[in-house]
Every structure is written in C-alpha cells, then in structure tokens.
Structure 1
Amino acid sequence: MVGGAVLHKGRLLAARRSAPPELAGRWELPGGKLEPGESAPQALVRELREELGVEAEPLERIAGQWPLKPGYVLQVWTARLVAGDPQPLQDHDELRWLAPGDIDDVDWLEQDRPAVAAAARLLTGAS
C-alpha cells in the first residue's frame, strides 16, 4: 500500500474515510494498493487521480513502513500537487488542508501517525 503526504502551500492534505465501517470517520493520507507491475510512485499518482481527481508528483519516500492488515504494509511518499483541486471522489467524504499547527486537529488512523508526524516536520522545516 502506498500513501501520499500531499504538500501544498505549507499545508498537508488529510482525507476522512467514508468506508469501510471500522475506518469511517477517521483521517488518513490518501493512497491505496499497488497494481501488478506498478512502482509505489506510479501507484500513488494513479490513486491520487482516482481518489481525489488531482495530478501529483511523488517526491521522496518517508522513512519507515507500517503494518496494515495481514499481507499489507504502508509506505508513504511526499507528493507535490501539480494540477487540480482535490475532491473526495472515492473512499472519503471530507478533505482538509492542515497547517503544521493543525496536524493534531483530526483523528488520524494509527498506521498513518508516524508518517504524518514526519510530514509535519517537513512543513515546519520548510517555513
């Protein structure tokens, strides 16, 4: 699984899950599964297009990987918004752009928290 820490104008994009029921209402970094033959950056570009209707450029992988369900681990890449205005098209019912001081304002899924903290450090260092 690949997640995207989408950074734009000093903020991080957060997406609230609408499904499955056990995850609904919690926040995550958008992304999804790799398809056969895809690299993680390729999957991230496709997933952000499908889920949010945007074009993004993967930049750097955030160190670490986090277990999800059996057989799946989450890898997160920072990404730059290239074109489009993110919309919750699939799997999400709300999006928020969070400034560094607002990162803890949403209830992040446990597996996303380490990558979110790393992305927040990048935002703070960039300002």
Structure 2
Amino acid sequence: MSEGLIETVAAVIADSGGRVLLVRKQGSDTFIQPGGKREPGEDSLRTLARELREEIGVQLVPGSAVRLGEFEARAVHEAGMRVRAEAFLVRVEGRPEAAAEIAELVWIDPRDPGEVNVAPLSRLHILPAFLATSEDAA
C-alpha cells in the first residue's frame, strides 16, 4: 500500500543570531516549520503569507522569500502519509506568537536543536538546506 502525499509550503525564519523558528501544533509533541497547505487558487508565496499571518501573527516581507527547494519525508501528524514541502527562507515583520492551531514556538540552533523534537522533514532536509544557503552567503 503506497503512502498518500500532503503538499505544503514551509517557512524558514531566522533571527539575527542564526536561530530558526519552529512551531508545535496543539496535540503534538513534534516541532515543524511554520507554513501549511495551499487553498484553491493560491500560489506558494500567498499560501505562506496567509499561514504566517494566521499561525504566528507576522507579515511576510514582500520580496524577501528565497526558495530553498522542495523536500519530502514521512508526515508526523498524519499516519501513513508523506509530506512534501516547498521551503522558503523569509523575513517577517512583527513578533511571532502562537495563534490558531499553534500551541508553542521555539527558536533553535539549526546545527544542534538539543532536546527539541524536530520533525524529519525539517531535521533531515529543510534545516540542512538553510545551513547550506547561509554558509554560501557567508
């Protein structure tokens, strides 16, 4: 039996110290990138802008998105599914705060998240892509 696929758009938001923001949904113990599923007629950046506003109360800075790639891994919130995310490094305006289905925010060192339970999609794919991009820019 093949796994189903969930298509999403994910944001990498880094602070001035290089830490990356992750979110935890209510009822979950796993942290993921902010973002979510497209609604009909939305492109990736409109989806991201809407999800960031709804989930963490920030505004996507126009023109700031840098595409990191498209990545796929086992879904942590939907049993038997895989998730594919188009990930973007973005800048935002405002102070992130948990809203909607988000229970908690955490800023992590992308090289060493410590005890934070980071989803495979972020840990294995998105965070390494961010680190490679930030090292290329350095």
Q: Tell me which interval the TM-score lies in, with the shorter structure as reference length.
A: 0.7 to 0.9
- Residue of structure 2 in register with 1:43 after alignment: 47
- Residue of structure 1 in register with 2:85 after alignment: 74
Q: How does 1:12-91 map to 2 (within 5 A)?
A: 12-19=20-27, 24-57=28-61, 58-67=64-73, 68=75, 73-81=84-92, 83-91=93-101
- Residue of structure 2 in register with 1:117 after alignment: 128
The 3 A distance-change label for structure 1 pair 11 and 125 is farther
Alignment-mate amino acid for residue 57 of structure 2: G
Query: 1:11 touches 1:123 (CA, 8 Å); kept in 2?
Result: no
The structure carrying a bigger helix percent of its residues is 1
Q: Percent identity?
A: 29
Report the more deviating stretch, 49-58 or 29-38. Answer: 49-58
- Aligned to 1:122, the other structure's residue is in SS state helix
| TM-score (structure 2 length as normaliser) | 0.74
Q: Distance in 2 between matches of 1:5 and 1:12?
A: 7
Structure 1 unaligned spans of 5+: none
Give aligned pairs, total.
Answer: 122
1:3 aligned to 2:10? Answer: yes
Alignment-mate amino acid for residue 35 of structure 1: E
**Bigger Rg, structure 1 or 2:** 2
Structure 2 unaligned spans of 5+: 1-7
RMSD: 2.3
- Aligned to 1:111, the other structure's residue is in SS state helix
Query: 1:12 touches 1:119 (CA, 8 Å); kept in 2?
Result: no
- Aligned to 2:105, the other structure's residue is in SS state strand
| TM-score (structure 1 length as normaliser) | 0.80
Q: Tell me the CA shift for residue 122 of structure 1.
A: 3.5
Q: Tell me the CA shift for residue 72 of structure 1.
A: 5.3
